[in-house]
């Protein structure tokens, strides 16, 4: 039943008509629990509140289905606006972005031009930028572009997904670049030909790649809401005397906020992924697909209204 629900919400997340309706309809039906708002001002307000609690942030202007140059350039403009706001407001925040929204599916020239525009300004403002990983079909291209950009910029990292068979090899392949990587389980529906279909296998691989990347001596962001993975990481760093300055935990805005605060109190860097923007629908559907508890929360919100 849980798998059916997951597949249903992942199917909905890719529906362009529903995405369009959601943009018109606004942040209702519980989406505001997971999305900071539609404007950079909304995001700044949320980031400041989180910073006051000792939480670091990475902010993401949401955008999906970008299929023309004008939209890609507009998405890049929003990223530049976010970087300027982080700098101006002296916020403890990084920037996350998806390269499809920068023109990845349109042309190499366009995506590289937009990425360099963003990274140039981010470097001047002292803002770190993480390139989110998307579905498997874009994985190799994303890593190829990351390698090119890493040769030019220090302030860029990317994401690897534990559910992909290839990830262990990717970590070794990236080792010489001294990459700052966010490690995640993975939230897209992928074929069993490329991804572990069973949760227990994903969890085991997640532990394996956390250990691999940390022992390579590289900065590791462990992005999880799973207590077993959090505890595994704590024990691992203790066993190998890895300093807290070499890793951090990351969670999504609106999910397990009390646990986030606990980790700060325990002395760990805890970074919250804060999305904002009008194109929130696909992101919201993937959050519902991940956790049945999120669906229950949203249904309660609808009934209350």
Q: List, by residue number, the catalytic residues.
A: 132, 182
Tokens of 232: 């595994």
How far is it, in rounded angstroms, from Cα 286 to Cα 91?
28
Report the DSSP pairing between strands 181-184 and 247-252: unpaired
How far is it, in rounded angstroms, from Cα 192 to Cα 194?
5
Map tokens 């955008």 to a residue. 63
CA distances from 279 to 101, 112, 274, 294 (A): 11, 23, 14, 19
- Pick from 98, 86, 94, 84: nearest CA to 58: 94
3-state helix, strand, coil in the chain (%, to 5): 55, 15, 30
Task: Show the DSSP H helices in 153-223 as ranges.
Answer: 167-174, 199-215
- Pick from 146, 193, 195: nearest CA to 167: 195
Neighbours of 76 (CB within 10 A): 23
Query: Exposed, middle or buried, 13 (CB in 10 Å: 0-12/13-18/19+)?
Result: buried
Q: Are 97 and 60 in contact (CB under 8 A)?
A: yes
Tokens of 250: 């990351």
Q: What is the DSSP string of 72-126?
A: HHHHHHHHHHHHHHHHHTT-SEEEEEEGGGGTTTT-HHHHHHHHHHHHHHHHHHT
């Amino acid at each position: 039943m849980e798998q059916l629900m997951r597949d249903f919400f992942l199917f909905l997340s890719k529906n362009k008509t529903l995405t369009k309706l959601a943009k018109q309809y606004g942040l209702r039906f519980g989406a505001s629990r997971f999305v900071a708002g539609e404007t950079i001002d909304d995001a700044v307000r949320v980031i400041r509140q989180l910073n006051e609690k000792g939480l670091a942030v990475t902010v993401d202007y949401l955008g999906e289905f970008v299929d023309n140059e004008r939209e890609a350039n507009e998405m890049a403009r929003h990223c530049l606006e976010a970087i300027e706001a982080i700098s101006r407001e002296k916020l403890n925040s990084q920037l996350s972005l998806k390269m499809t929204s920068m023109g990845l599916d349109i042309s190499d020239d366009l995506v590289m031009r937009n990425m360099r525009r963003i990274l140039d300004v981010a470097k001047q403002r002292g803002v770190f930028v993480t390139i989110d990983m998307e579905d498997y079909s874009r994985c190799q291209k994303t890593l190829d572009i990351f390698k090119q950009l890493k040769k030019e910029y220090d302030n860029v990292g990317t994401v690897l997904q534990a559910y992909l068979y290839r990830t262990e090899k990717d970590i070794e392949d990236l080792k010489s670049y001294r990459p700052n990587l966010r490690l995640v389980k993975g939230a897209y529906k992928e074929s069993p030909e490329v991804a572990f279909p069973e949760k227990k296998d994903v969890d085991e691989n997640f532990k394996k790649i956390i250990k691999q990347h940390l022992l390579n001596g590289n900065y590791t962001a462990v992005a999880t809401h799973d207590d077993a993975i959090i505890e595994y990481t704590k024990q691992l760093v203790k066993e190998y005397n890895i300093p807290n300055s070499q890793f951090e935990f990351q969670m999504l805005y609106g999910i397990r906020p009390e646990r986030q605060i606990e980790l700060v109190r325990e002395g760990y860097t805890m970074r919250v992924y804060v999305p904002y923007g009008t194109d929130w629908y696909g992101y919201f559907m993937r959050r519902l697909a991940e956790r049945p508890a999120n669906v229950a929360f949203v249904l309660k919100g609808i009934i209350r209204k």
